[in-house]
């Protein structure tokens, strides 16, 4: 099994190769779900006889980001810095089966510095990268970098600021987002995905009132601010669901933006 360390180092090496000459920060790492075990030689020892050298410890889930602060853009007064990272969750891997391809999630996108909200786009996210070794992992990350269109991503985020919804439309949207979670599966499949939990939808509502950067109580809400309310609420997600929801926030914000201009796909959320 590839370790979390090997995963991080492979992505770090690819970043150093592709962005040679740029300032690249050290990885910022988060782990969760500690698993305590023992070495094979101590498998039959009673717990009270275990030596420290007999014990093992690893973390089931790991996430990291690597910032490239010399590559940045300002969108609607907010500084966005290029950010690379990934997520690994052993609960998505059968550690006891015959060794095969292992799953990783990697991304390249931008972090909003005023609030550390992460912005992820379609061509900058691999939600299920399956590889068997660090060499293939390194190559896959390089390929993702080559395919990622940073200018297009920035333009998408800038364009969100050109469209706004009324407070009434926002309240209607919040109600639909709450309703979405309770819909029968057959009904849900005909509507675009919305991955935020009820608690996170509540946090979007609270931030609309209280957030000093993106709140708009009593005023029209720009889709750029709405997008940041979504990505802000996503920060409460578990490590293994964080990136999927970050990407879904992009889909939801751009979809609602299109619906405000008459597109049908996300119209259910506003109807």
Task: Give the pLDDT confidence of 58-96 residue by residue, as tens digits.
Answer: 888 999 999 999 999 999 999 999 999 999 988 766 555
Give 98's pLDDT tier (boundaries 50, 70, 90). Answer: low
Q: Which helix (H) or strand (E) holds 130?
A: strand 117-131
Q: Which helix (H) or strand (E) holds 36?
A: strand 28-38
Give the strands of the sheet with 55-75, arranged side by side: 28-38, 55-75, 78-89, 102-112, 117-131
Render pLDDT for 152-206 as a digit per residue (tens, 0 to 9): 999 999 999 999 999 999 999 999 999 998 999 888 889 999 999 999 999 999 9
- For residue 207, pLDDT over 90 is answered with yes
Identify the pLDDT of residue 93: 63
Residue 195 · residue 248 · CB < 8 Å? yes
CA distance 131 to 106: 12
Identify the pLDDT of residue 261: 96
Identify the pLDDT of residue 1: 78
Render pLDDT for 27-55 as a digit per residue (tens, 0 to 9): 999 999 898 888 888 888 898 888 899 88
Identify the pLDDT of residue 240: 85
Residue 53 · residue 184 · CB < 8 Å? no
Q: What are the residues whose beta carbons fall under 8 Å from the beta carbon of 168, sequence distance 6 or more?
A: none
Identify the DSSP state of 267.
G
pTM above 0.75, yes or no: yes
Token readout for 38 is: 């023992």
Residue 121 · residue 153 · CB < 8 Å? yes
Angle at 65 between CA 213 and CA 230, to 5 degrees: 35
Identify the pLDDT of residue 239: 87
- For residue 116, pLDDT over 60 is answered with yes
Identify the pLDDT of residue 252: 97
Q: For residue 57, with 0-12 CB atoms within 10 Å meaning exposed, 13-18 middle and 19 or more buried, which class applies?
A: exposed
How many whole angstroms from its chain centre is CA 94? 23
Render pLDDT for 208-220 as a digit per residue (tens, 0 to 9): 999 988 998 989 9
Give 259's pLDDT tier (boundaries 50, 70, 90). Answer: very high
Identify the pLDDT of residue 94: 56
């Amino acid at each position: 099994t590839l370790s979390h360390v090997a995963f991080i180092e492979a992505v770090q090496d690819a970043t150093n190769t592709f962005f040679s000459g740029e300032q690249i920060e050290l990885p910022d790492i988060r782990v969760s779900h500690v698993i305590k075990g023992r070495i094979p030689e101590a498998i039959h020892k009673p717990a009270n006889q275990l030596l420290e050298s007999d014990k093992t410890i690893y973390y089931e889930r790991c996430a990291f980001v690597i910032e490239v602060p010399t590559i940045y853009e300002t969108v609607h007064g907010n500084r966005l810095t290029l950010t690379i990272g990934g997520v690994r969750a052993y609960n998505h891997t059968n550690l006891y089966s015959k060794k095969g391809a292992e799953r990783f999630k990697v991304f390249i996108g931008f972090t909003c510095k005023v609030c550390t909200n992460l912005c992820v786009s379609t061509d900058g996210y691999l939600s299920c990268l399956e590889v068997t070794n660090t060499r293939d992992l390194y190559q896959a990350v390089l390929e993702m970098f080559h395919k990622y269109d940073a200018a297009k991503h920035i333009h998408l985020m800038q364009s969100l600021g050109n469209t706004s919804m009324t407070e009434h439309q926002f309240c209607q949207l919040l109600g639909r987002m709450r309703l979405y979670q309770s819909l029968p599966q057959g009904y849900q499949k005909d509507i675009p995905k919305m991955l935020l939990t009820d608690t996170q939808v509540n946090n979007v509502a609270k931030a609309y009132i209280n957030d000093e950067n993106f709140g708009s109580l009593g005023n029209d809400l720009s889709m750029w601010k709405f997008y940041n309310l979504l990505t802000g609420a996503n920060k409460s997600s578990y490590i293994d669901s964080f990136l999927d929801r970050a990407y879904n926030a992009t889909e939801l914000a751009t979809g609602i933006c299109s619906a405000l201009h008459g597109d049908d796909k996300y119209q259910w959320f506003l109807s």
